[in-house]
Amino acid sequence: MRKLKNNELNRISVAEFKTTQKTPLIVVLDNIRSLNNIGSVFRTSDAFLIEKIYLCGITAVPPNKDIHRTALGATESVAWEYVADTLSLIKKLKVAKIKVLAIEQAENSTKLDTFQPTKGETYAIVMGNEVKGVQQEVVNASDLCIEIPQLGTKHSLNISVTTGVVLWDLFQKMQ
């Protein structure tokens, strides 16, 4: 087995990315404080052809050298927009018939492994602050709360890891 070289990976250009059909997923970052986490979410969103990222509240926006360090150029390929208030964004997404999924540990949450997306539906996943999680008012306004089953002592994953797990799971279920 031989590792592939970068020029063998069949990467598409930024221009091709922008015209390629996207996975019907939107990422909402609710008050993310770590610039490295933000960059990582951009990079993961690029990998799975995510429609758009919304950066809300205290979440920093590109251009930023620390975001760029982990995004590796994905801030140029993935569409993004800053919205000051996460709750107002959630309300607009719902009016647009986008199903909002808060990714959070909560009463009556649906386990990620049992959630089945509906064909033809667009979903927005809301990722919360590294310490406080998704704001309660945003959880309340969401259509569903999705939880990653965890069995260890921490029951806590880094937001960039959580985003990767959720996007991969939904991406492969939608294929």
pLDDT per position as a tens digit, 89-141 = 999 999 999 999 999 999 999 999 999 999 999 999 999 999 999 999 999 99
Residue 89 lies in a domain: yes
Average pLDDT over residues 135-154: 97
**23-77 per-position pLDDT tens digit:** 999 999 999 999 999 999 999 999 999 999 999 999 999 999 999 999 999 999 9
Q: How many domains does the chain have?
A: 1
Model-level pTM?
0.97
Residue 6 lies in a domain: no
Residue 12 lies in a domain: no
pLDDT, position 140? 98
Residue 148 lies in a domain: yes
| Cα distances (angstroms) measured from residue 108 to each of 34, 47, 175 | 29, 31, 27
Strand partners, 56: 30, 83
Owning domain of residue 35: 18-174
Residue 136 lies in a domain: yes
In this structure, what CATH number is given to the domain that contains residue 22?
Answer: 3.40.1280.10
Alpha-carbon span 163 to 166, nearest angstrom: 5
pLDDT, position 172? 98
Residue 2 lies in a domain: no
